[in-house]
Amino acid sequence: MTRDDLFNTNATIVATLTAACAQHCPEAMICIIANPVNSTIPITAEVFKKHGVYNPNKIFGVTTLDIVRANTFVAELKGLDPARVNVPVIGGHAGKTIIPLISQCTPKVDFPQDQLTALTGRIQEAGTEVVKAKAGAGSATLSMAYAGARFVFSLVDAMNGKEGVVECSFVKSQETDCAYFSTPLLLGKKGIEKNLGIGQVSSFEQQMIAEAIPELKASIKKGEDFVKNMK
């Protein structure tokens, strides 16, 4: 399926489910993993606004799969334990809107530019790599389940009072001129406690951000328009 096919299938599903959440559990933390996340999060926000219960600190686009992949690919190249590698991934959750900040990786790693470009491309297109490996018979399942679980466990830990819990997520944001943008977030009892922002980035990463914004804006508008035009 293309992202457009995904949109046509999932937009209605997400709008229906989130309308039920807005009516019956408006205070819940809403974690959306249904693609295209760049559009389904704006759909969720607009549905919650329609019901008068919108709280931007409690609506999360789960992009953790990009972080898990970035950590794994960097670890493989450097002979590290992926569980001890942390690459923040910002922007969105599709193609060139996926922006791994390898300059902010802990532990610190360095790659020559050609290898960095190839690695970034692999992180961005890893979903397609899985589809090809499965010869079109499916997409990422176990890795997505793992990533979704990781994000939810982090959120539950934070809700239960654990301090210093940080995860990247696609949320309502003022970090760029996109209405929604993924950055590292400090999570707390009431959802987003603090947006930690983009931080220092390399010129290569800065260029990726600039290139991602028009596509992100179009995906966000598509989600918002869908809710506006709903019967």
Q: Encode pLDDT of 30-75 as tens digits.
A: 999 999 999 999 999 999 999 999 999 999 999 999 999 999 999 9
Confidence tier at 4 by pLDDT (50, 70, 90) = confident
pLDDT above 80 for 1? no
In the predicted structure, residue 200 carries a pLDDT above the cut 80:
yes
Average pLDDT, the chain: 96
Has residue 231 got a pLDDT over 80? Answer: no
Q: Report d(CA 189, CA 212) in Å as an integer.
A: 32
pTM for this structure?
A: 0.96
Would you say residue 139 has pLDDT above 90?
A: no
Q: Is 93 a catalytic residue?
A: yes
From 93, 99, 178, 181, the catalytic residue: 93
> pLDDT tens across 77-126, in order?
999 999 999 999 999 999 999 999 999 999 999 999 999 999 999 999 99
The string of pLDDT tens digits covering residues 157-173 is: 999 999 999 999 999 99
C-alpha–C-alpha distance, residues 213 and 24, integer Å: 34
According to the model, what pLDDT value does residue 22 have? 98
DSSP string, the chain: --HHHHHHHHHHHHHHHHHHHHHH-TTS-EEE-SS-HHHHHHHHHHHHHHTT---GGGEEE--HHHHHHHHHHHHHHHT--GGG-B--EEE-SSGGGEEE-GGG-BS-----HHHHHHHHHHHHTHHHHHHHHTTTS----HHHHHHHHHHHHHHHHHHTT-SS-EEEEEEE--SSSSSEEEEEEEEETTEEEEE----S--HHHHHHHHHHHHHHHHHHHHHHHHHHT--
pLDDT band at 6 (very low <50, low <70, confident <90, very high): confident
